[in-house]
């Protein structure tokens, strides 16, 4: 198994989690995020068009690194790799899933929600982790509490993070980036309002820089 640190937490302080319903939206959404300063996105494998969307962004928007999210099994990992994903993100971590994502050779962010899960992954050399679902699992307080006992682990909290809470997470020493869907609201995508996406990206990055 390959090990991280992968550098994924350094790609972008804010990692948009993007759900694409219409493959035609993939490139304009990625371009809008890029125009707003975002350099990496997690495109979720939650819709049938997701692999095609990843493929288009990987080919047509070279300024942005597109990863595949919601990778829950070997088939997802394979589809994402074939589509040209630059990295993989899993919501949780089983042995089989970790073997599958590592088998692609791509860098990946494995999901954890508890101290013991985080320690199990650290035993495998995996120290850059997705903390999911962040808000429901204890949020900022949880991460602050484990920074002392687990100083070598760093996280991308995702799940319930908003424009209002992102800076609180980013101010923690064990947070490398934050993820979430708030930059790409379903209504804005359905309306083709990519200017809104760009504005949300710009605001998110401004907040991230202020958080230091």
- 139 touches ligand 3PG by CB under 6 A: no
* Least distance CB 159 / ligand 3PG (angstroms): 4
Chain positions 140 to 199 lying near ligand 3PG, rule: CB under 6 A, are 158-161, 179-182
Residue 130 falls in the annotated catalytic set: yes
- Are residues 50 and 76 in contact, defined by beta-carbon separation less than 8 angstroms? no
Residue whose C-alpha is closest to residue 50's, from 86, 15, 25 = 25
The pair of structure tokens assigned to 108 is 């990946």
Cβ of 202: how many Cβ atoms within 10 Å? Answer: 17
Say which of 31, 130, 135, 198 is annotated catalytic.
130
16, 36, 67, 69: which one binds ligand 3PG (CB under 6 A): 69
End-to-end Cα, the chain, rounded Å: 34
* Least distance CB 19 / ligand 3PG (angstroms): 8
Say which of 42, 128, 135, 198 is annotated catalytic.
42
Cβ of 78: how many Cβ atoms within 10 Å? Answer: 14
Residue whose C-alpha is closest to residue 6's, from 119, 126, 97 = 126
Residue least distant from ligand 3PG (Cβ)? 180
Q: Interface with ligand 3PG by CB under 6 A: which residues?
A: 17, 44, 69-70, 132, 158-161, 179-182
State the catalytic residues.
42, 130
């Amino acid at each position: 198994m390959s090990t991280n640190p992968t550098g994924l937490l350094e790609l972008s302080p804010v990692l948009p989690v993007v759900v694409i319903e219409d493959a035609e939206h993939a490139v304009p959404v990625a371009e809008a995020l890029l125009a707003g300063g975002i350099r990496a996105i997690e495109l979720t494998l939650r819709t049938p068009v997701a692999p095609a969307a990843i493929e288009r962004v990987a080919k047509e928007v070279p300024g942005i690194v597109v990863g595949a999210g919601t990778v829950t099994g070997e088939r997802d990992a394979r589809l994402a790799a074939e589509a040209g994903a630059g990295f993989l993100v899993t919501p949780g971590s089983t042995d089989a899933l970790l073997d599958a994502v590592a088998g692609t050779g791509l860098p990946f962010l494995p999901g954890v929600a508890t101290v013991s899960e985080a320690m199990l992954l650290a035993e495998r050399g995996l120290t850059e982790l997705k903390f999911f679902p962040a808000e429901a699992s204890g949020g900022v307080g949880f991460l602050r509490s484990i920074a002392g006992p687990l100083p070598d682990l760093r996280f991308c909290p995702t799940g319930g993070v908003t424009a209002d809470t992102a800076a609180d997470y980013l101010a923690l020493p064990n947070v490398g980036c934050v993820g979430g869907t708030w930059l790409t609201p379903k209504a804005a995508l359905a309306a083709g309002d990519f200017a809104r996406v760009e504005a949300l990206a710009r605001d998110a990055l401004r907040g991230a820089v202020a958080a230091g």
